[in-house]
Amino acid sequence: RLLEMSVEVERKFLCNADTLKTLEEIGASVRQHQFHDQYYDSPKFDLTLRDAWLRKRKGCWELKCPTTEKTSGEQSKAAALCTRYKEITNLPEIQQRVTKIMKDNCEDTETSLSLEGEAWLSKMNLVCFAEFTTVRRSFVLEEEGVQIDLDQADFGYCVGEIEVLVPEGGDVQSALEKIERTAQKLGLSGDQRIEGKMNVYLKRYNPKHYEKLMSQHIL
Ligand code: V4E
C-alpha cells in the first residue's frame, strides 16, 4: 500500500535546442516512449476544482492530489517553482477518494465499488474532458533519483520536467534540493513557473474550464 502512494515533486521548464544539447552532454538518454492520456472529471469539474487529476494512461488509472504536508523550505525559491502531488495508483483507493470528493459536493452520490469494468465512471458521472498523446524522452543523471523528461504533446506543445518521486513521508526537502542542483546543471534561468501540457490544452480546447481553474488559482 505504501509503495502505491508517493509524492511527485516536479519542476517544469521551457525546452530549447540548448537544453537538449546540455542534456546530451551531461546525461544519458535512457528511453523514448509514447503514451496517450485521458483525463476525467464531472461536468461541473468537481475533481479539478479540488486540484485532483484523474487519468488513464497505458490502461492504468492514476489520481494526482495536492499534498497536505509542509516543509521548512516552503518559502524558498526552489520550492515555489516546484509542484508536489500525491500519486495514487491503486484503483479501489482512487474510487474511494473520488467518491469522497464528489460526496463533499453532492449529498446523494452513492458509494458503489463493485461495478464491472469502467461502469464506475458513469456511476460517478465522470466524463473524459481532455485527451492527448505525448512523446517523452527521459534522461537520468548521476544524481540519484532525478529524472528529466522532455515531453512533446500531439497538440504542439513542448515542455521539460525535472522530477523526483518521494515515498510517502519521505524527504521532500532533499528532493527540492536535488531539483535545484539539476536545474543549475541544465543552466535553467528564470524564476517563472512554466505552463504544463494541461494548461495549454485547456486554454486552447476548453477555455471555460480553463478560466474556471484559473479563477480558483488551480492552474
Ligand atoms: C497535477 C496537474 C495535472 C495532471 C498532470 O500532471 P503533469 O505532471 O503536469 O503531467 P505529466 O504528463 O507530466 O504527468 P507525469 O508523467 O509527470 O505523471 S494537470 C494540472 N495539474 C496542476 C499543475 C499546476 N497547477 N501547475 C503546474 C506547473 N503543473 C501542474
Domain hosting residue 173, numbered range: 2-215
Sign of dihedral through CA atoms 32, 180, 79, 88?
positive
Q: Are 9 and 179 in contact (CB under 8 A)?
A: yes
Task: Give Cβ neighbours of residue 12 (< 8 Å, ≥ 6 apart).
Answer: 83, 159, 160, 161, 193, 194, 195, 196
In this prediction, residue 2 carries a pLDDT of: 43
Task: Please report, for the domain that includes residue 52, its CATH number.
Answer: 2.40.320.10
Q: What percentage of the chain carries pLDDT values higher than 90?
A: 64
Q: For 182-204, what is the mean pLDDT?
A: 91
For ligand 1, whether the C-beta of 160 sits within 6 Å is no
> How many structural domains compose the chain?
1
Cell of 112: 458503489
Ligand 1, closest atom to CA 62? 18
The predicted-structure confidence for 109-134, as pLDDT tens digits, reads as follows: 455 566 778 889 999 999 999 999 99
Please determine, for residue 157, whether its predicted confidence score (pLDDT) is greater than 70.
yes
For ligand 1, whether the C-beta of 198 sits within 6 Å is yes
How remote is the CA of residue 196 from the centroid of ligand 1, in Å? 6
* pTM confidence score: 0.91
Query: Which residue's CA is the nearest one to ligand 1's atom 9?
Result: 196
State the Cα–Cα distance between residues 79 and 92, nearest whole angstrom: 32
- CB crowding 183-205: b at 16 or more within 10 Å, else e: bebbebeeeeebebbbbbbbbee
Residue where the block lists cell 470528493? 101
Q: For 62-79, what is the mean pLDDT?
A: 75
For ligand 1, whether the C-beta of 136 sits within 6 Å is no
Please determine, for residue 145, whether its predicted confidence score (pLDDT) is greater than 50.
yes
The predicted-structure confidence for 80-115, as pLDDT tens digits, reads as follows: 899 999 999 999 999 999 999 988 766 554 555 667
For ligand 1, whether the C-beta of 39 sits within 6 Å is no
Residue 185: CA atoms inside 13 Å, Cβ hemisphere, count? 19
Ranked by mean pLDDT, the top range of 3-12, 100-109, 196-205 is 196-205
In this prediction, residue 141 carries a pLDDT of: 81
Please determine, for residue 71, whether its predicted confidence score (pLDDT) is greater than 70.
no
For ligand 1, whether the C-beta of 46 sits within 6 Å is no
In this prediction, residue 111 carries a pLDDT of: 54
